Amino acid sequence: MNEKIFGLDELLFSNEEPAAKTGPGETERWTVLIVDDEEAVHHVTKMVLNDFVFEGKGLEFISAYSGEEAKFLMMSHPDTAVLLLDVVMEQDDSGLTVVRYIREVLKNSFVRIVLRTGQPGMAPEEKVVVDYDINDYMEKTELTSKKLITTMISSLRSYRDIVTTATLSAQLQRESAERLQALSELRKSQRQLQAMMDNSPAVIYIKDVQGRYLLVNRQFERLFHIDSNSMFGKTDADLFPPQFAAALRENDVRVFKTGKALEREETVPLDDGPRTYLSVKYPLCDSEGSPYVVCGISTDITERKRAEEALASEKERLAVTLRSIGDGVITTDMEGRVILMNRVAEQLTGWSQKEARGLPPAEIFTLLH
């Protein structure tokens, strides 16, 4: 079943800054799989992200137009970083079936899955996020180039962190199996791990099943004014107020119970007030597959959250202003098509904003003649 794209071209080509140009000499690329039965979605997505670069690497696009084709391509390209996935295609739940196949059959927990739907009623956001292991959810009616680029940045950053954590996890598992015979090698590996963690701008930490800190990086020490030796064996309850500590512990417990990676926004108090972090928590398992520690990588997204809130507030102020103006006001996009009308303009033209959106003003004004 096809999903209608409501004003996608107008939204994606609004007056926003483009991503940085692809640099010279670039060889490696992030693989992005676009799954949608609408050709226009593929075309517009590629145009918006054509020059997108993250950490010196551009994007390599792969296209699928059905759920079955998406399954085959995911099996053929297990290194896919981001999957932009439509929900309703040949079946009403084609997209959700693809998610289950990737996570449960292919056992691929690395690819970041972003659902894009034109029919949110077919897959309510809260239920989908809870019941399926997806990382973002967007309605096509709200999709802009800025939103798409922001989503791509956060998804690639999350993918990069999970791959890094999984690499460290595999290394620790191998060494833990031989810890009684090669304790010195394990300690050497821990020093190497610490060096890698200390070079990250993110907050990185490892906790045991009881929530006790085993390892923290230099960024953790700097932010919370405590050295790694003093932090060893302490819990979040020793560091944060009860309400913050309880929330952190709840997420850790969920990772241990499910044995799966978890991505959540978490808030902790710092010197300048509460800060919001996007945390990726990943279990490290023993030879029997049982989680014995949780590794976390937390990236500060406070400024991004504030920017989003400021943008929403600005949009609301604009809407209030338009409603209060006594003259008719019509706003168009860069291609001269209507995107906003206030109530006076609706009365003057006889067109509602919903009816006029996407039309040239000349077509609306014909009613006045």
- Answer yes or no: do 41 and 149 share one domain: yes
- Answer yes or no: do 202 and 287 share one domain: yes
- Give the angle 346-347-350 at the CA atoms, nearest 5°: 75
- Answer yes or no: do 25 and 144 share one domain: yes
Give the helix/strand (H/E) hosting 186: helix 183-198
Q: What is the pLDDT of residues 29-59, one digit of tens each?
A: 999 999 999 999 999 999 999 999 999 999 9
Write down the pTM of the prediction. Answer: 0.44
Give the domain-ending residue among 304, 324, 340. Answer: 304
Residue 368 above 70 pLDDT? Answer: no
Q: Answer whether residue 288 is part of any domain.
A: yes
Residue 235 above 50 pLDDT? Answer: yes
- Answer yes or no: do 31 and 50 share one domain: yes
Q: Answer whether residue 134 is part of any domain.
A: yes
- Answer yes or no: do 126 and 224 share one domain: no
Q: Answer whether residue 298 is part of any domain.
A: yes
Q: Answer whether residue 182 is part of any domain.
A: no
For residue 357, what is the domain's CATH number?
Answer: 3.30.450.20
Q: What is the pLDDT of residues 133-162, one digit of tens each?
A: 788 888 877 778 899 999 999 999 999 999
Structural domain harbouring 351 = 315-368
More confident residue, 16 or 55: 55
- Answer yes or no: do 335 and 216 share one domain: no
What single-letter amino acid sits at 257?
A: K
- Answer yes or no: do 298 and 330 share one domain: no
- Answer yes or no: do 251 and 284 share one domain: yes
Give the domain-ending residue among 267, 285, 304. Answer: 304
- Answer yes or no: do 65 and 106 share one domain: yes
**Average pLDDT of the segment spanning 323-347:** 85
Q: Which residues contact 252 (CB under 8 A, 6 or more apart)?
A: 207, 211, 281, 294, 296
**How far, in Å, CA of 330 to CA of 247, rounded?**
47
Structural domains in the chain (count): 3
